[in-house]
Amino acid sequence: MTVYRQPLYYEIAFSFIDAKRQVDCFEEIISKFSEIKVRRVLDIACGPSLQLREMARRGYETIGLDINSEMLEYLRAKAKEEGLKIETVQADMTNFKLRKKVDYAFIMMGSFNFKSNEALLSHLNSTAASLNKGGLYFIQNFGVNWKIDWTKPKKQSWETEKNGIRVKATYETHVKDVVNQIITEKITLNVNDHGKKQTFTHEEDLKLVFPQELKLLIKLNNKFEFLGWWAGNTDWWHLNQPLEKTEESKLDTNMILLRRK
**Measured from the CB atom, is 45 or 251 closer to ligand SAM?**
45
Which of 239, 186, 185, 167 is closest to 10 using CA atoms? 167
CB 245 within 8 A of CB 128: no
66 near ligand SAM (CB under 6 A): yes
Strand order in the sheet with 182-193: 154-162, 165-177, 182-193, 196-207
Does 193 participate in binding ligand SAM (rule CB under 6 A)? no
Residues 75-104 that bind ligand SAM (CB under 6 A): 92-94
Task: Report how far apart, in Å, the C-alpha atoms of 11 and of each of 22, 75, 87 are.
Answer: 16, 10, 19
User: d(Cα 97, Cα 27) in Å, to the nearest integer?
Assistant: 25
Q: Would you say 45 or 120 has its CB closer to ligand SAM?
A: 45
Residue among 25 and 93 whose Cβ is closer to ligand SAM: 93
End-to-end Cα distance, the chain:
35
Part of the chain binding ligand SAM (CB under 6 A), chosen from 32-40, 105-113, 160-168, 227-235: 105-113
Nearest residue (beta carbon) to ligand SAM = 47
* Interface region with ligand SAM, contact rule CB under 6 A, candidates 74-82, 106-114, 126-134, 166-174: 106-114
Does 169 bind ligand SAM (CB under 6 A)? Our answer is no
Name residues contacting ligand SAM, limited to 26-45 (CB under 6 A): 45
**Closest listed residue to residue 93, CA positions, set 69, 113, 71:** 113
Binding site for ligand SAM (CB under 6 A): 4, 14, 45-47, 66-68, 71, 92-94, 108-109, 111
